[in-house]
Structure 1
């Protein structure tokens, strides 16, 4: 407790009484949601039939959340603040639902849950009940952008929401259990990236109630001097509020919140006055209150309040234990509901007038329903940035390097609504053109030799994939756009965060008042086939497999084969809504196959026959060579040329896949091909040799229902890799051109005996290529410098 504060000036006695009444009302509604199936206003003594058969929910953190919510409402009204709340302890779902009902937003969103006795009964019944709402601060809850069931992301989401929202204050409750996670620990460093001149502010509130499910929390048990040192070292000025006397805590928290907001206002005033913008020390609050405060102090002679036993349901045997039932009724009546709700069951007038109104309510703030404030990006015409492909395979250019100038101009055209996120890899992934118009966001110290660091930078780089993901999610959820670029192997670090965002997108599709968000766009480069220099640790294409596990209506995966197709794909992704788009593209110089017109058409189709590379002459082929990904496409085309040279009578159809989801049936994915169309392209009975960028079994999984699946043979990454040459890398995984020719010989009926000599040549060619790398340390130029040669019609030279 900060004794320098004049705690008695912050609240009048009447304000204290009204705040405490609002807090009691929120606590009553919270307990009611956990326990009650009927009799919401206790008009009759509680009976067994009034209790839910399954008691679910978390009481322990809820009274602290209700306290914070009430006090935030006070300062919003007093200061006319534009504010929102991110709730780290997502298990406090009933608390936040209680507040949204008290301030009216819940009833506006769900008309059958009115602010009366019948509505209160429905409010109680729906919580953690079949056909109702989840126990977390889920997407169903107005004002929520963060479910919090999985811990660690509250603070990064809060900062993402504050970027480019200069008048927004984002209060963020960090639970002391959550504070033990790695992502949350990294999130404290976000002060280095928040610019008070152009961004909003984040007010972290570290809620220390002492316990997790069954153990004490680390930050509640270390010496306070150490705790405050950690927070000060991260750029904060922490203010401590602690105690278990409600009146004292109310007064102290009110005074502390006023001080914090005064300091935020002064920080922003100085930064926006035209002087030098420097990194400030931002205020934050450390709130220590008992776990399960105001609940049962003891149950069956054992302490509950202030211990881990208050974490979930303090009285668990209520339906079958009369003593517990009586204790529950005593607990509920201790909040004096007759003072809080009128004869109809509505909150009494002074409670209805205490919260802010309209959009100033945290549960109704438009930015918390980001699709409401979302505006389309101004996108330059991507066709102006393409590669001039005069013939397939020429010129050589890295796809992401070609994309970079377009991304640069997207940034320039959208200075308040688009940012590029990446873990120290924007330049490495060849998107350095962005630095022609912006810098890396940076509020820390700079020294001579630093490269493109500025408080005004729009490139967000920090060596934490968790932090990049959390920032971007917060940015998207509050109505903006962005791209996350990463090495392919290490995007796995955010697998679980992607899970949560995908679930959010899936659920919100069915919530009528939730508006679609800008897509979450991943651009994965430095991919598995060109991580030969870094080695096995950097070789993993499995993020695609993880993404494909999510609901079909929210995930898309694209593997453009060249630069022009990448441009067309990214333009599509930045225009899309409510998806997770994963785009995998190479950064190294590579052949470019399609003109811009062809690339646009190919991207729209999702997959298609490359007639210029096929030799089936529009008739039924002997074999289909399919490819997906830039390196597999290169190797497949090289294999096609070998077959054309050595087996000219063989009719080969080459199919390239950009949109991976086209492989699924249309009954499984919105982008899926109908069976008849699939069979038309891939045939119903001919061998299909498929060269795929990632793990080969994914292609089998996507196509197992197709009629020709038994004839499908897939080559891809099979966990073979090391520090070696690019071609040796594909040979290690049997994805090379020579092995693809062998696969054709082995699988086309009747070809084996006739092509035995060619098969042996291919085996020898693989060994020769391997020997060359071992002797010279690089790939044989005949392989490395291979270029596609268009076949000439002898009748039309």
Structure 2
């Protein structure tokens, strides 16, 4: 530990009056925290505690809470003294009662929830509602003002904090990282987010590693390594660590106040120096961070039933169990709560005394009232160029070849240029790979570390955020969205699974916040999944997985949308819609390889508006009831369906074939299940009530059955899709391995259309032979047959 840091911590910047006030505020927050975990009634302890005052189920996390409130109180002092614009990200979000306590003390909670006011009855409601049926969750959830981070699942606090700071030059994000959370992979990777933070155009992140020594039942790694190793680690990832530790409240208050003063002085120096260097060579600054070491469950019971509690893992959740049934524990709880001297903290009505009300800042300066933590308040629409001007000129359906994502890249280039302060492109080192490299015509990759002459498009003012961590990309984007901006996350389809749990948390946050009147809608979380399952023939089986769609479809229909545009023009229309949307998770799957284009721009717009539709140009039913419906969703399945329809048109000219393409997967659901769903009558009109429907699907076949199981004709819907057959092979061999190929689809038609089999036995045999020949060709030549690879819709 640097001696300068120790010296800063030993100074005493607080006057006796300030020390008393900040300690009283901390005691009040601790009192309110304990009350939320334990009490149903008697909030001010006007009478001795009795069993009926205690909740029947004791839920919550005490161990981290005193540290969270200590930090909160001291940051309030800094905000007031320095005029800071600050939000508070709580990594140990399970310390929910502490954050609720602080938001109640500084008045934001009563403003948003008037029934939980600054009164005895309000305090009773505050206690009763916590982790109680009909109340609020035990974690720092969307219901808590000032929060942008749920924290129930650990690992994402620091990436959220950095995402919030990007393009917010006046914002400070104080981010508490628990020492248990610090062991997670996503958090471990997040420390180097400082490589991407521009000290001129971005805000400040102040990481605060709270070492209380234990997780649920085990010691934490960062608490058990030496001070020298711990400081070396954080210096190695680019920080200037300041250490505060102790168990004497007065000493810790003074040390933490001095340390925060030193940190914010250092931040001001970093930013001033960066502004002086703004036009010179970039110099990566060394930002301050705090390592705060205090006992777990500090100020709680030191020993229970002969076992140590304070400063041990036993303080993690509820230190005193069975309070209703154990008179000794009940007496200990009362002594614990009275140790905070509530009679000094709250007046006769239950309102915090004036001394406490004077500590927090006022209005929007309060961390719980900061509009950045309710990003919809600050959200501005994107300036979007007309996507129609970026479309591919299609000369005949299925005859023009183009790369869909390359066309999208040109549009995104101009989206970035038109929105230099509110849109960023996030991805794990794949912008060029996914054919979006037109973005580099107007911007670079954000980068604050060393830049070599051999590097390409690295600069300290880039709008493209590339790092080989899907966790960081997701966390940054979520933080960016939650504070009122817009973005797009591009990824290989197979590896977006890495953020399954992060998507879960964000989707749940969106769902919960929809029911909270004061939460304003934010921009949607948009995924573009390219390099998908059907064109990972070169990378092989490990890169072949379309299952993220299934995962997303488990969420509530008010939140999720899945789109499978078959070509460039439908992709452009879809993405324009997604970037304009609010409060959704949009998943768009689109290939990057050269492929056939099927729709003119006008046709693409209409097709996307419908979500699914009959492609009359590819059908032979001539508006009458078809003999068979060939349905498809996804670019490669669409290609195979059209090639199959071409074979059938030539071999069986009297067969009435209807081709249906699905862009919006939600259209397959009934309108009673999803806002985009089709009513049963509309669905039956398109897919019939009694004819075979052969559905070629991008993903796992069972998903289509899940979406359509209530439909009249479900028993006649037969789905081909990915069935976990893959390897390093050719594109057509890949579809053959999964029985999604055109020849297999024609065989299905012969097998499924009543009466057709005996009259088309020769055609079926030809298809069997064609599959065999195609397989032999790949094994002999290492590429697909020219007639397969170069097929296009006949003119």
- Is 1:429 the counterpart of 2:434? The answer is yes
Q: Are the aligned partners of 2:669 and 2:707 in contact in 1 as well (CA < 8 Å)? A: yes
Matches within 5 A, 1:531-570: 531-570=536-575
Q: Which runs of 5+ in 1 are unaligned?
A: 791-797
Distance 1:64 1:4 in 2: 22
> How far does the alpha carbon of each residue in 1:346-371 deviate from its partner, in whole angstroms, 9 at most, with x for none?
00001011100100000000010011
- Measured on the aligned residues, the alpha-carbon RMSD in Å equals 0.7
Other-structure match for 1:735: 740
The two structures have a TM-score, normalised by structure 2, of: 0.99
Deviations 1:549-587 (A, max 9, x none): 011100000000000000000000000000000000000
**Equivalent of residue 345 in structure 2, options 335, 340, 344:** 340
1:359 aligns with 2:364: yes
In structure 2, C-alpha distance between the alignment counterparts of 1:595 and 1:423, rounded to whole Å: 32
1:65 maps onto 2:68 in alignment:
yes
Q: What's the offset of the Cα at 1:7?
A: 4.0
Aligned mate of 1:262, from 254, 261, 265:
265
How many pairs are equivalent?
790
Does 2:148 correspond to 1:155?
A: no
Contact 2:9–2:259 (Cα < 8 Å) also in 1: no
Counterparts of 1:234-383 in structure 2 under 5 Å? 234-273=237-276, 274-276=278-280, 277-383=282-388
Match of 2:624 in 1: 619
Name 1:484's counterpart in structure 2.
489
Greater CA drift, 225-234 or 98-107: 225-234
Residue 407 (structure 1) aligns with? 412
Is it true that 1:186 corresponds to 2:200 in the alignment?
A: no
Q: Counterpart of 2:589?
A: 584
Report the counterpart of residue 795 of structure 1 in structure 2.
none
* Larger deviation, residues 270-279 vs 697-706: 270-279
Shift of 1:8: 4.0
- Residue 793 (structure 1) aligns with: none
What do residues 616-648 of structure 1 show as CA deviations (whole Å, max 9, x unaligned)? 000000000000000000010000000000000
The Cα offsets for residues 687-730 of structure 1, whole Å up to 9 and x where unpaired, read as 00000000011000100000100000000000001000000000
Deviation at 1:394, TM superposition (A): 2.9
Match of 1:720 in 2: 725
- Give, in whole Å, the separation in 1 of the partners of 2:660 and 2:322: 64
Question: Separation in 2 of the partners of 1:7 and 1:178?
Answer: 28
> Residue 671 of structure 2: which of 666, 669, 675 is its match?
666
Unmatched segments (≥5 aa) in structure 2 = none
SS in 2 for 1:210: coil
Map residues 588-603 of structure 1 onto 2, 5 A cutoff. 588-603=593-608
Cα separation, 2, equivalents of 1:617 and 1:275: 66
1: CA distance, partners of 2:499 / 2:477: 12
SS at match of 2:17: helix
> Structure 1 stretches (4+) deviating beyond 2 angstroms?
6-9, 273-277
Q: 3-state SS of the aligned residue for 1:591?
A: strand
Residue 114 of structure 2 corresponds to residue 111 of structure 1: yes
> Aligned residue for 2:87?
84
Measure how far apart 1:654 and its partner are: 0.3
Using the alignment, how far apart are the partners of 2:279 and 2:257 within structure 1? 32
Equivalent residue for 2:54?
Answer: 51
Q: Spell out, residue by residue over 1:72-124, the C-alpha distance to the aligned partner (whole angstroms, 9 max, x if none).
A: 00000000100000000011000000000000000011011011111000000
- Give 2:125's aligned residue: 122
**Cα offset, 1:3, TM superposition:** 3.1
Matches within 5 A, 1:754-765: 754-765=759-770
**2:21 matched to which residue of 1?**
18
CA distance in 2 between partners of 1:723 and 1:372 (Å):
49
Distance across 2 between alignment mates of 1:250 and 1:415: 42
* 2-structure distance, mates of 1:376, 1:7: 49
State the shift of 1:491 in Å. Answer: 0.2
Q: Provide the C-alpha distance between the structure 1 equivalents of 2:91 and 2:237, rounded to a whole number of angstroms.
A: 19
**Secondary structure of 1:447's match?**
coil
Per the alignment, residue 794 of structure 1 pairs with none
Measured after TM superposition, the shift of residue 126 of structure 1 is: 0.2
1:198-209 equivalence runs, <5 A: 198-209=201-212
Residue 33 (structure 2) pairs with residue 30 (structure 1) = yes
Paired with 1:279 and 1:557, the residues of 2 have a C-alpha distance of: 40
Task: Tell me how far apart the structure 2 counterparts of residues 291 and 9 of structure 1 sit (CA, whole Å).
Answer: 24
Could you give the per-residue CA deviations for residues 391-424 of structure 1, whole angstroms, max 9, x where no partner exists? 1013200100111010000000000000000000
